[in-house]
């Protein structure tokens, strides 16, 4: 099967009315434009563009304009074709996507400037149309698969940029599968030693665990059928290698002890069950607990409390008796509806919906931070400081903490009670005097842990924040608010030292100051 035939076969599986002729035309156009151009691997250039479109279809279920954008993503950059040509052939929408991809290519700086510049361009492009990023993700994933053709310096740089910029954005957009693939392809180039160690230590276990999970899956299926519980699918799911590596070093950074660490990680392979409705999710959870013993504290209800990127599922880790000898094995179950599953796999791309004219509009899903980006577009173009804030806000790992009333709040990792207070309300931050975590008093600079219950005790007489807090707060919003508030305080304090107030200052001093001047 040729690459374009593969693409044409995938599209109807999720877009029954997709215009395949238009896709064929775009492929012919790209083929003609890239005629004679070869990739470093020796293949025709258009093969790369077509594979990019396949990734968009297969992994992201992208709409037709995005796929055509994928087929054409390099024509303006690398051939004589212009924006006008693309507009005439495929319309403004597609042309804008291709131009978006072209702009992202032109990064001139090196080192840290290069990093900042490419991130700035990414955010500007995202704010205009998120689909540009999807094409860029697909382009990057295909390029990662042929990285060996580049020099070691270049391949490491591309892989590192993928881990540090692309993967966190993919995570925030909720395209979890693609994020995992981007990371796994980059892992050996950025951390070659660690990659070898993890691969060597984990591969036997993964294979063993997959056999165990196969048997558990079969017996669970029997239980479900016996209880007449409807389900759509049940299958084992192997953890991505880079995600496993991150989990390993969170448990114990010393890779010499990796075997011991792996003994404590229970979700190398998980059992995933997909059902139709939310009540069925909880019913299946109950059924599993009736024949397997859950481990204490390992039931996670991400349906009631979704992760910051919108991820929803029920997770439970249980002891399961396997085989004739009823050997006990620990395994994680993940239970979700089809909708939750699609969102976890394809993220925001499942949320494109179409107006009568067939043009896609903004995604329905609550992507507040992307809307923020749109507002910041102008500042992003002019101001690097906003970029720093974004880097912290958007790209950092998040933790979940709770208010005493039980509301969940997500904050960047390492946040303190002061960050929490400012996140809830500026006033709570400004009047913050003491903090309790899980009922005990703690210093205000204590880093919060996932699922902590945080209580802020205010002092009504307090005039404002302590400038010293700037040394430990993590969120840009807390930092800005403290700066704003303490600007006055610092100024007053300085003013008092330099020029004491007329009515309180002893006259002698005032005269002295004058004489000096
Ligand atoms: Mn490309």
The DSSP result for 305-331, as a single string, is S--TT----EEEEEEEEETTTTEEEEE
CA of 16 to the centre of ligand 1 (A): 27
Distance 159 CA to ligand 1 centre (A): 15
Distance 52 CA to ligand 1 centre (A): 8
Helices (H), 15-166: 20-33, 45-60, 64-71, 75-78, 83-105, 111-128, 130-145, 152-161
Residues 302 and 401 in one domain: no
| Ligand 1 centroid – CA 95 distance (Å) | 16
State the distance from the centre of ligand 1 to the C-alpha of 137, rounded, in angstroms: 10
Catalytic-labelled residue, pool 77, 83, 177, 379: 77
Indicate whether 387 belongs to any domain: no
| C-beta separation of 189 from 159 below 8 A | yes
Enclosing domain of residue 271: 192-350
Between the CA of 73 and the centroid of ligand 1 the distance, in Å, is 6
Q: Are residues 147 and 110 in the same domain?
A: yes
List the structure tokens of 223.
Answer: 């239980």
Measured torsion, CA atoms of residues 171, 174, 178, 180, in degrees rounded to the nearest 10: 50
- 10 Å Cβ neighbour count for 266? 16
Residues of the chain with pLDDT under 50: 109, 352-367, 490-517
Examine residue 504 and state whether it is found in any structural domain, yes or no.
no
**DSSP at 2:** -
Which domain-ending residue is among 168, 188, 208? 188
Which structure tokens are listed for 461?
């007489």
- Cβ density class 292-305: b for 16+ within 10 Å, e for less: beeeeeeebebbee
CA of 392 to the centre of ligand 1 (A): 28
Give residue 360's pLDDT. Answer: 39
Domain assignment of residue 503, yes or no? no
**Encoding tokens for residue 145?**
């698969």
Please indicate, yes or no, whether residues 151 and 197 belong to a single structural domain of this protein: no
pLDDT of amino acid 132: 87
Q: For residue 481, give the nearest of 6, 489, 171 by alpha carbon.
A: 489
Determine phi and psi for 269, rounding to 5 degrees: -130, 130
User: In terms of domains, do 170 and 26 share one?
Assistant: yes
Residues 205 and 291 both lie in one domain? yes
15 in any annotated domain: yes
Element (H, E) at 345: helix 338-346
The neighbour count for residue 407, using CB atoms within 10 Å, is: 9
CB 464 within 8 A of CB 485: yes
pLDDT tens per residue, range 138-191: 999 999 998 888 888 889 988 988 887 788 778 777 788 899 999 999 999 999
Q: How many CA atoms lie within 13 A of 508 on its CB side?
A: 0
Q: Do 41 and 99 share a domain, yes or no?
A: yes
Same domain, 181 and 210: no
**Domains: count for the chain:** 3
Residue 168 shares a structural domain with residue 71: yes
Distance 128 CA to ligand 1 centre (A): 20
pLDDT at 315: 95
Q: How far is the CA of 139 from the centre of ligand 1 (A)?
A: 5
Instruction: Identify whether 78 is a catalytic site residue.
Output: yes
Quick one: 98 and 147 in the same domain? Answer: yes
Task: Say whether both 103 and 183 belong to one domain.
Answer: yes
CATH number for the domain harbouring residue 421? 3.10.20.30
Orientation of helix 64-71 relative to helix 20-33, angle to 10°: 20
Domain endpoint, select from 350, 376, 405 = 350
CATH number at residue 55: 1.10.3210.10
Is 364 a member of any domain?
no
- Tell me 268's DSSP state: S
> Ligand 1 center to residue 83 CA distance, Å?
17
Within a domain: 369: no
| Confidence (pLDDT) at 475 | 84
CATH number for the domain harbouring residue 225: 3.30.460.10
Determine contact, residues 331/322, Cβ cutoff 8 Å.
no
Q: Round to the nearest angstrom and report the end-to-end CA distance of the chain.
A: 88
| Residue 470 forms part of a structural domain | yes
* pLDDT value of position 169: 79
CB 248 within 8 A of CB 255: yes
Q: How far apart (Å, rounded) are the C-alpha atoms in residues 400 and 454?
A: 11
The answer to whether residue 77 is catalytic is: yes
What is the pLDDT, as a whole number, of residue 394? 53
| Residue 404, in any domain of the structure | yes
Of the residues 19, 43, 78, 455, only one is catalytic, namely: 78
Check whether residue 309 and residue 291 sit in a common domain: yes
Q: Which strand (E) or helix (H) includes residue 370?
A: helix 368-375
184 with 197, same domain? no
CA of 74 to the centre of ligand 1 (A): 6
Q: How far is Cα 445 from Cα 88, in angstroms, rounded to an integer?
A: 59
Q: Are 354 and 360 contacting, i.e. CB atoms less than 8 angstroms apart?
A: yes
- How many angstroms is it from 120 CA to the middle of ligand 1? 19
Q: How far is the CA of 157 from the centre of ligand 1 (A)?
A: 16
């Amino acid at each position: 099967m040729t690459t374009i035939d593969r693409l044409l076969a995938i599209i109807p599986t999720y877009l029954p009315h997709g215009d395949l002729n238009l896709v064929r035309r775009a492929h012919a156009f790209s083929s003609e434009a890239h005629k004679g151009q070869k990739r470093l691997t020796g293949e025709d250039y258009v093969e790369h563009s077509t594979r990019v479109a396949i990734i968009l279809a297969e992994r992201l279920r992208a709409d037709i304009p995005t796929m055509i954008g994928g087929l054409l993503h390099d024509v303006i950059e690398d051939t004589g074709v212009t924006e006008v040509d693309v507009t005439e052939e495929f319309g403004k929408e597609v042309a804008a996507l291709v131009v978006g991809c072209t702009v992202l290519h032109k990064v001139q700086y090196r080192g840290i400037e290069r990093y900042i510049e490419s991130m700035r361009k990414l955010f500007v492009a995202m704010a205009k149309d998120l689909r540009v990023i999807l094409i860029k993700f697909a382009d990057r994933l295909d390029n990662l698969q042929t990285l060996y053709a580049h020099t070691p310096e270049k391949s490491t740089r591309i892989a590192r940029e993928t881990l540090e910029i692309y993967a966190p954005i993919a995570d925030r957009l909720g395209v979890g599968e693609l994020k995992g693939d981007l990371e796994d392809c980059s892992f050996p180039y950025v951390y070659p030693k660690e990659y070898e160690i993890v691969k060597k230590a984990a591969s036997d276990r993964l294979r063993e665990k997959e056999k165990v999970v196969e048997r558990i899956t079969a017996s669970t299926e029997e239980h479900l059928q016996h209880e007449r519980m409807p389900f759509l699918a049940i299958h084992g799911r192997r953890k991505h290698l880079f995600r496993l590596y991150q989990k390993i070093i969170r448990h114990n950074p010393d890779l010499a002890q990796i075997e011991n660490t792996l003994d404590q990680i229970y979700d190398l392979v998980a059992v995933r069950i997909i059902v139709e409705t939310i009540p069925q999710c909880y019913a299946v959870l109950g059924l599993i607990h009736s024949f397997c013993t859950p481990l204490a504290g390992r039931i996670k209800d991400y349906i009631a409390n979704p992760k910051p990127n919108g991820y929803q599922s029920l997770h439970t880790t249980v002891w399961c008796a396997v085989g004739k000898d009823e050997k006990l094995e620990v395994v994680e179950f993940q239970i979700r509806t089809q909708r939750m599953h699609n969102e976890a796999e394809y993220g925001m791309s499942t949320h494109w919906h179409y107006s009568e004219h067939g043009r896609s509009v903004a995604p329905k899903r609550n992507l507040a931070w992307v809307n923020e980006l749109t507002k910041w577009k102008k500042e992003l173009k002019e101001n690097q400081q906003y970029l720093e804030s974004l880097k912290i806000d958007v790209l950092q790992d998040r933790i979940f903490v709770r208010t005493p009333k039980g509301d969940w709040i997500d904050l960047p990792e390492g946040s303190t009670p002061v960050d929490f207070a400012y996140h809830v309300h500026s006033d709570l931050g400004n009047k913050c005097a003491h903090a309790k975590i899980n009922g005990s008093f703690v210093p205000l600079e204590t880093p919060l842990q996932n699922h902590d219950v945080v209580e802020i005790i205010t002092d009504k007489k307090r005039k404002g924040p302590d400038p010293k807090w700037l040394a430990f707060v993590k969120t840009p919003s807390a930092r800005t608010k403290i700066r704003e508030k303490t600007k006055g305080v610092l100024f007053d304090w300085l003013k008092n030292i330099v020029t004491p107030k007329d009515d309180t200052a002893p006259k002698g001093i005032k005269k002295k100051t004058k004489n000096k001047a």
